[in-house]
Chains A and B, each alone.
Chain A
Amino acid sequence: MAQARNMNEATAHPLAEQNPQHEPIGSSDPDRGAHVLIQNLSKVYRVHEREAGLKASLGSLFRRKYRDVRAVNDISFEVAPGEVVGFLGPNGAGKTTTLKMLSGLLFPSSGTVRVLGHEPFKRERSYLGRMSMVMGNKGQLQWDIPAGDAFLVNKVVYKLSDEQFRTALGELTDLLDLGPLLKKQVRSLSLGERMKCELAAALLHQPQVLFLDEPTIGLDVTMQARIRSFIGEYNRRTGATVLLTSHYMADVVALCKRVIVIHQGRLLYDGALDALSGKIAPFKLLTVQLEDTVDTPAEPMDALAPYGEVQRNQDGQVVLRVPRAEAAAVTARLLANLPVADLSIEDPPIEDVIDQVFSGNALAEAHVEAAR
C-alpha cells in the first residue's frame, strides 16, 4: 500500500484546523485506520432486455425479460488516509458503480463498504458532510445563477462559518483562478471553467474523502493539467484521501502512486503504478537499429523477427516485444548475431499496458495477481 500521508500534516492546514469535523480515526476502529474499506463488494443490476422492432416491443408489454448484470464482482481493497488512488478500467468496468457505492448513491448487492467509519448508503449527515464526489458529466451547480451564489448554498448546507467560508473560498479562488468566474451565470461558463467551479463547490467544506469520477473529461490538455495539479495540491495541503477515475493516463501518472485496475467488475491489480507494467504486462520493448553495412540484411524487419514480436518498423528502427525474463538473453544474441548500431530496452508505455489489459491480451499472456 502506498505510504499514507501523515495526518499531522493534514491537521496543520489552517482550513483543516478550522473544520471541527476533521478528526483522525482512532487505531481501535473496525476500519483498521483506513479511510475507505471495501470487502467482497458486489453490485448486480437487473436490466430489462428486448429485441428491436414492434413485435418485440408489444411482447415486452406482457412478458418482460430481465438479465442480471454483475457490474462489480467481489472486489476488496482499502485506502489509507491521505492516499491518492487511481481507479482504472475501460467503460463499463465498474469504476463509477464502485464510486457511487462509496458515496452512498448506490446500495451494494453484497459485501461491505465503509468510508470514514460510516456505511455510505445510510447517507448520514455526519458522513455526507465529510465527503464529496465530483462527477465529470453531472454537476451540482445550478445553471441559472452565478457560481458565487451556488457556493453560498454550500456554505449554508455544510454549515460553514463566515470565516471558514471566506478562507476556503479565498484559497480555492487563488488555486483555481476563480475570480473572474464567480459572478458569471454557470450556464455561460466554458466546460473547463465549469469544472473548476464544480471542484471548488465540492471542496468548500474541506472533505476528508474525495471521489472524482472523470474530473477532466472533455477538457483541453491545458485545462486537464490545471485541474490535475490542483487536485495534487489539494491533497498535499489538506491530507484528504482521493479516489480518482480517469480515461486520461496522464491524470493517473501525475497524481497516483497507487492504482487499482478493474475490468468487467473484477479487481485485476492493486498496487504501485510503477510495478503495474511488470505485473500485468511482463514484457520489455527492445528498440533496435542495425548498421548500414554490406552485411546488413536488405530487410531489417525480417532479420529481427525471429528475436521477438515486431511492434513497429519505422525509419530503420524496429521495436521488438520480448518476454521480460528473456530480455537480457535476446539482447545478447542480437548483439552477437547482427550488426547492431543502436539498442535500447524499455518498459512498455503505461497506456499500452492498460490498453492490453482492457483488450484482454495481457490476461492471456500473464498470470495476474493482486499485489496484496
Chain B
Amino acid sequence: MIAAFRVFFTTQWASFLAYRVMFFLYSMWAILPPLIYLAVWGTVAGGGNVAGWSRGEFVVYYLTFMVVNHLTGSIEIHTTGYEIRMGDLSPRLLLPVHPALRALASNVGFKTIGLFIVAPSVLLLAPLFKPEFNTSPGMFFLGVLAVLPAAAMQFLWGYSIALLAFWTTRADAVSQLNYTFLFLLSGEVAPIALLPEGLRTLAAALPYRYMLSFPVEVITGQLGGRQILLGFVMQGLWLGAAWLLMRFTWQRGVRHYAAVGG
C-alpha cells in the first residue's frame, strides 16, 4: 500500500506540475480570503485592540491560518467528485487498490507543491504586517502536530461529501454548504474566541474547529494545556467519526453506483 501511495504521489505530482498557472491560482485560495479578513480585523483593531486582540495578534493568527488552511484543505470534491460525475471512476475501480489511495496521494501532492507557493507568500507578507509572536516552541510543535489529524479529518470529510456524487449530480451543492460551515466555524471569518457565545459553543462541539482553527490556536499560543488536551481528544473523536462516515458512504455509494450504472 505504501508503494502504491508513493507511485500515485509521484504521478500526481508530475500531473500537477503540468498545470503551473492553475496551481498558483488554487494556492491563492488558501491565502486571499484570510488576507481579506486580516485586513478587516487589523483595521478594526487599529492602534488598540478588539476583545483583547491587538492588530499584531490578528496578523500572526491569519498568517498562520493561511499555511494551515493550505495544509488541511480538502480538494476531493474537485478530484473524486468529478471522477464519479464523469464516469472516470470505473477504470479506477478495476484496479486492485482502493481509489481513495489515489485521492489521498493527490491531496498530499497538491499540498506539497502548493506549499512552495504558500510558504514564501506568507514569509513575504509577514514583514508588511508586523506580527506579534506570543508563542513558545512547545506550543508551536504541538500545533504543528495537530495539523495532521486536522488534514486527515478534512480529507475524510471531503471525500465523503465527494462520494455523494454517487447519488446526486449536485454533490458540489452539499460541498458549498460544508464550506459555509467551515467558513463560519473554523476560525476564518473571525477567530473562534471572538464569536458570539452561541456560535462558540457550536464550534466547540462540531468538527469544523478541529479541522482548521484548533491547530492555528495552538501554534499561536492561545490555548492552555487543558484546552489543548481537550482539542486533541475532540480531533480523535471526530477523526474516528469521519473515518466511519467515509467507509459507510463508500460502501453504500459504490453499491448505488453499481446499481444505477456508470
Contact = CB atoms under 8 A, between A and B. Distances in A.
Given A106-B261, A107-B255, A135-B90, A153 B96 contact: no
A123 B93 contact: yes
A97 interface: yes
Given A45-B260, A46-B260, A105 B93 contact: yes
B259 to A, nearest CB: 6
A4 interface: no
Given A145-B15, A157-B96, A97 B261 contact: yes
Q: Main SS of the interface on chain A?
A: mixed
Interface in B1-38: 3-4, 6-8, 10-11, 14-15, 18-19
Interface in B81-104: 87-88, 90-97
B258 interface: yes
Contacts of B10: 149
Interface in A149-176: 149-150, 152-158
Contacts of B11: 142, 145, 149-150, 152-153
Contacts of B88: 138
Contacts of A129: 96
Number of contact residues on A: which range applies? 35 or more
Given A144-B19, A145-B14, A145-B15, A156 B7 contact: yes
Contact of B15 (A105, A131, A142): A142
A39 interface: no
B15 A144 contact: yes
B7 A104 contact: no
A157 B96 CA distance: 7
A138 B92 contact: no
Given A142-B15, A153-B11, A103 B94 contact: yes
Contacts of A105: 90, 93-94, 258, 262
Contacts of B4: 156-157
A320 to B, nearest CB: 45
A340 B158 CA distance: 79
B15 A138 contact: no
A182 interface: no
Contact of B259 (A104, A107, A154, A155): A107
Contacts of A75: none
Contacts of A125: 96-97
A71 B261 CA distance: 10
B91 A139 contact: yes
Contacts of B91: 135, 138-140
Nearest to B88: A138
A131 B10 CA distance: 25
Q: Indicate the member of B3, B8, B19, B93 with the most A CB atoms within 10 Å.
A: B93
A132 B259 CA distance: 21
A105 B260 CA distance: 10
A150 B10 CA distance: 11
Nearest to B257: A105
Contacts of A71: 261
A185 B19 CA distance: 13
Interface in A123-137: 123, 125, 128-129, 131-133, 135
A107 B258 contact: yes
A77 interface: no
B8 A140 contact: no
A140 B95 contact: yes
A140 B15 contact: no
Contacts of A157: 4, 7, 95-97
A158 B96 contact: yes
Nearest to A131: B94
A132 B96 contact: no
Nearest to B255: A107
A87 B94 CA distance: 20
Contact of B94 (A46, A121, A140, A142): A140
Q: Indicate the member of B90, B94, B261 with the most A CB atoms within 10 Å.
A: B94
Contacts of A133: 94
Contacts of A156: 3-4, 6-7
Contacts of A106: 258-259, 261-262
B90 A138 contact: yes
Contacts of B8: 153
Nearest to A143: B15
Contacts of A158: 96
Contacts of A103: 94
Contact of B95 (A97, A128, A139): A128
A154 B96 CA distance: 10
Given A153-B8, A156-B7, A140 B258 contact: no
14 contacts: A46-B259, A46-B260, A104-B93, A105-B93, A105-B94, A105-B262, A106-B262, A128-B94, A128-B95, A139-B91, A144-B18, A154-B95, A157-B4, A157-B96
Given A45-B260, A149-B14, 19 more contacts: A46-B260, A100-B90, A100-B261, A104-B94, A107-B255, A107-B258, A107-B259, A128-B96, A131-B94, A138-B90, A144-B15, A150-B11, A152-B7, A153-B8, A153-B11, A156-B6, A156-B7, A157-B96, A157-B97
Interface of B: 3-4, 6-8, 10-11, 14-15, 18-19, 87-88, 90-97, 255, 258-262
The 3 closest A-B pairs by CB, nearest first: A140-B91, A128-B96, A144-B15
